[in-house]
Amino acid sequence: MMWRYLGRRPMSTLATDWWHNVGIAPKDPILSITEAFFADSSPNKINLGVGAYRDDEGKPVVLQCVRDAEAKITGCEFLESLSRQGNVKLVEESAKLAYGENSDVVKEGRFAGVQALSGTGACRLFAEFQRRFRPESQIYLPSPTWSNHHNIWRDARVPSRTYHYYDPESKGLHFGALMDDVKNAPDHSFFLLHPCAHNPTGVDPTEEQWREISHQFKVKSSQII
């Protein structure tokens, strides 16, 4: 998006006036690992700061299914504006992927979704939705979480809290404390869960633990009047 100033002052003065209040955003600590990686002259260096696969030459590993999908999209007819929901087929297929094609949720159509622009866009859209339709509610984020989650809900003016997640002693999941936080959260709270490959710890609940977490959410929801 570009803005054009229609006043009479020269551009240079104007630009200084306009931007002097805009500070430099704080750095994402994870990205500083990549900066340190590029600055390091060691021939044996490995960048572990980016959560993406690399081949033996340090190049991104692109799965064949992604290449196939890319080829299909390239061959598609050009789409003009989509509906406000985005691409409905994409939303439906995503729900099947998330819940399972044969799940009750999908078979009974008990889900709602919209296409969003990336993970960041999805979080922001949900935060806006939350503020508009549940303005008294708060979001619970795992401790720790991807640092931008805090910024996204703060910018959407939704209060956030954290729930126990990583236990530095066991270097694993703080499961008991996590369950207590879910049990004790005020009604109508929202929890942000990382379905897999938790960022930044890499610690995920086991399938059994997911079942218990899911059960506890259902118990809590059934108690809300």
Ligand X SMILES: Cc1ncc(COP(=O)(O)O)c(C=O)c1O
Q: CA–CA separation, 133 vs 149, rounded Å? A: 20
124 binds ligand X (CB under 6 A): no
Q: CA–CA separation, 168 vs 93, rounded Å? A: 37
Buried b (16+ CB within 10 A) or exposed e, 186-208: eeebbbbbbeeebbebebebeee
Closest CA to 117 of 82, 153, 77: 82
Site string for ligand X, 137-176 (x = CB under 6 A): ---------x------------------------------
Site string for ligand X, 194-223 (x = CB under 6 A): x----x------------------------
Among 47, 94, 120, 147, binds ligand X (CB under 6 A): 120
Q: How far is the CB of 122 from ligand X (least distance, A)?
A: 8
CB contact at 8 A, 222 and 188 = no
Q: Which stretch binds ligand X (CB under 6 A): 66-74, 115-123, 129-137, 183-191?
A: 115-123
Can you read off the two tokens belonging to residue 178?
Answer: 């996590």
Q: How far is the CB of 145 from ligand X (least distance, A)?
A: 7
118 binds ligand X (CB under 6 A): yes
What does the binding site for ligand X look like in residue numbers (CB under 6 A)? 118-120, 146, 194, 199
